A and B are shown apart, each in its own frame.
Chain A
Amino acid sequence: MSSRRFSERRARRVGYCLLTLSLVVIAILLGGAAGAQVSEGKPASILMLPLLVVDAQHDALIQVTNTSRNRRFAHCFYIDGTSWQQTSFDLTLNAQQPTHWVLSRGRQVDASDPPCSPTNADCDAAGVDPGLVPPMLPGFRGELLCVEVEQSGFPIGGNALVGVVSLTDVTTGDVASYPAIGLSGFDTSNLDGTLCLGGGVSDTCPFGAEYSGCPQTWTLNHLADGTPDALAGSGSSVQTTLTVVPCAHDLLNSVPQPAVLQLFVFNQLEQRFTMSTSVNGWAERHLADISNVFTRGVIGTDYLQTRVTDANGGVMLLGREIRSSGGAQPVSTSAALPLHPETTFAGGEVIVLPPQF
């Protein structure tokens, strides 16, 4: 074989190797990036439901489903956004089983609950009860965090859970639904009570990330506060609220985690405004309360894009749009706003669970 032909063959071989390697690297990057994204609606191992409210006017219906073909278990925590007191309970879900409960009523385990039928419409508790779920008392504003565990209580990355919350105005019947925000689990769990969200190997996370990392930046497309509803017209208005929950949770020591959010607002004239706000553990804010820049009169256009970034960690956001009809007897309706996670916090965070004792 001539040396020239040998060189050509070697060059082709190297080229193929480089191409293959590149494809592999791209696949890893893409796969890693995809795995590092939170999911709304995709089964996950950690479910976060950032906004739950019980008061004279509001209640919430919570639905959780096991999407796998095996029995699954979850350890859940209600966390009061004001007092940071947590209330925990356990769920057991059979294969493919959905379940639900009303926030203010909870759910008992009662095998004698009658099923729904043409003659029995009072059947809210029908079904295989998932466990004893405590009710939250009026005045509760906070979040629900559910962690998939195996039967003896060790957290696992089974990625079987999905959830939906319907926030209901019990006086008007208005409903706003949002899917739980899910964090995918990996098979790197070291079965301790410190859940490692993203990031790499560390003293706290000796096997690196056990769950996908949290978003660091979210994008929100919304109306400026005070913009009239397009259908209701003059006198009506739209307001946007944000519920902010830092991803890191210390449920062992019951310490709320702080977050400082940078907000970048773009109007339709490509003008940009910036502001910041701090959150301790949990917060629900009207955008107009964060800054009057969000008001129609200040920002100058009706439609806005806002990017929210936590410089020091990941954060979960839920947007809600409240439209009021105005007039002598105004009525209002609300809807969850879709938010888009853009980037993932690379530093890694933890959720620390209290021990079982």
Chain B
Amino acid sequence: MLRRLALASLIFLLTATGAYADAHVSPDEAAAIVNYPYVFVDVQTGRDTFLQLSNASDTAVDVFCVYEDTTGTCANAAQSCFENADCPNPGTPQSVCFPGFNLRDFRIGLTAGQPIGWLASAGLTSLPLPGGSVPGVGGQFRGALRCVVIDAAGVPTEANVLEGVATVERFQASPTTQIDVGKYNAIGIQAIAGTGNGDSFLVVGGGVGEYSGCPNVTTFNHFFDGVLDPVVGDGHIHPGLVLLPCTVDYANQVPAQVLVQYLVFNEFEQRLGTSKLFGAQQVGLLSAINQAIYDINVQGTLTGQTRLLPLQSGVLALAFEQNDATAGQGGTFTADFAVQQMGTRQQGDLIVLPPIQ
């Protein structure tokens, strides 16, 4: 209770204005915190994620990372799931996939300029140079990964030195060979020099931020759902979105609850809007947010612009597109791409770390 009051007080303080130093939330630059919004493993369908993390500095750094596992559990069966459709008797009111929020942390050391890479499912039993190990997440995982630069004592530092890249891949050897890859840069949250106080409450943005603030409005361009592929003329395009809250409480294992307001513009400048609440992570096609407003047959033009405004917490976003072409090897092809941000949230966010050994 006291901790929650303290958190609430901190969040209240974050609404004050203050000067910004030159720090950014961006997938383009090295940062003190890197966020991989989408890590997916499902060995049954041949899916895994290859994660790469690099130290951009010329000195060694320690890194503390947390996997956030949002893999769900069926309400009507003791089995894991990603969507309601994965549970028995889909379509019934009882067939609900309740999202989870399980955490797994690890600590590694990166030498000067060192890149490392690992498959999320298997991890790394030992780094190429002495520096710890990375646990595997196993055969079924959907969630995110966040990494924070720390010092030898486990205290977060202001070193903006981490660069991250993820490759989300699907590979099937039989009955026919199929492969699909999508890549994205981890979204970095840069530390603001001279503001860190060495505690486990990482203040992101707001008037007293130790790190650059999360975006106020996020915007991205996309095809509407069900567009007949204008290139191949065969198959349809299905756009999607991944959202990860900026605020997260690892100490109490409490995910944020975020309501996001959406405005969608088509190529006629016509505007529709909606809103949707999500918890630890939102992964899905845009049509799952609101089927009507993202339908090509409703919007009438091939492409649109979505602007989203989160309320209770900032969000980090990643857009993707799935093309279900029947040409070539068939199957679904996925492409991931960065979204744009406009402004910075006035109200800050908070990352609460657990005790770090």
Contacts and interface: CB of A to CB of B under 8 A. Distances in A.
Interface string B255-289: 00001010100101011111111000000000000
Contacts of A171: none
Interface in B210-256: 216-217
A151 B309 CA distance: 22
B292 A131 contact: no
Contact of B298 (A90, A135, A254, A356): A135
Interface stretch (A64-72, A81-89, A112-120): A81-89
A284 to B, nearest CB: 18
Interface in A48-92: 85-90
B313 to A, nearest CB: 13
A327 interface: no
A86 B271 CA distance: 14
A254 B310 CA distance: 12
Contacts of A86: 273-275
A136 B272 CA distance: 13
B317 to A, nearest CB: 15
Contacts, number: 68
Nearest to B277: A254
Contacts of A136: 292
Mostly, the A contact residues are: loop
A355 interface: yes
A29 interface: no
A153 to B, nearest CB: 10
Contact of B272 (A132, A252, A253, A354): A132
A276 to B, nearest CB: 28
A109 B272 CA distance: 13
A6 interface: no
B275 A85 contact: yes
A258 interface: no
B266 A135 contact: no
Contact of A356 (B263, B299, B311): B263
Contacts of B261: 252, 354-355, 357
Interface in A335-357: 354-357
A88 B309 contact: no
A354 B311 CA distance: 10
Given A87-B292, A357-B217, A134 B307 contact: no
Interface residues of A, number: 24
B293 interface: yes
Contacts of A331: none
Nearest to A90: B271
A287 to B, nearest CB: 26
B291 interface: yes
Contact of B270 (A85, A131, A252): A131
A357 B307 contact: yes
Nearest to B292: A134
Contacts of B270: 90, 109, 131-132
A201 interface: no
A197 B277 CA distance: 27
A254 B272 CA distance: 16
B46 interface: no
A171 B274 CA distance: 31
A85 B290 contact: yes
B300 interface: yes
Instruction: Indicate the member of A88, A108, A137, A251 with the most B CB atoms within 10 Å.
Output: A88
A108 B299 CA distance: 8
Interface string A99-113: 000000010111000
Instruction: Indicate the member of B263, B268, B298, B307 with the most A CB atoms within 10 Å.
Output: B298
Interface in B103-147: none
B292 A253 contact: no
A106 B266 CA distance: 16
Contacts of B259: 253-254
A4 to B, nearest CB: 73
B274 A357 contact: no
B272 A89 contact: yes
Nearest to B308: A357
Contacts of B293: 87, 134
A332 B293 CA distance: 34
A354 B307 CA distance: 13
A132 B291 contact: no
Contacts of B298: 106, 108, 132, 134-135
A263 to B, nearest CB: 29
A134 B272 contact: yes
Given A106-B292, A132-B299, A135-B298, A252 B311 contact: yes
A239 to B, nearest CB: 25
Given A134-B298, A137-B292, A89 B271 contact: yes
A322 B350 CA distance: 54
Interface in A213-268: 251-254
A22 B270 CA distance: 53
Nearest to B276: A85
Interface of B: 216-217, 259, 261, 263, 266, 268, 270-277, 290-293, 298-300, 307, 309, 311
7 cross-chain pairs, A with B, having the tightest CB-CB distances, nearest first? A88-B273, A132-B270, A134-B292, A354-B261, A357-B309, A254-B275, A87-B274
Interface of A: 85-90, 106, 108-110, 131-132, 134-137, 251-254, 354-357
25 contacts: A85-B290, A86-B273, A86-B274, A87-B272, A87-B274, A87-B293, A90-B271, A106-B292, A108-B300, A109-B270, A131-B270, A132-B266, A132-B271, A132-B298, A134-B292, A134-B293, A134-B298, A135-B298, A137-B292, A252-B311, A254-B259, A354-B309, A357-B216, A357-B263, A357-B309
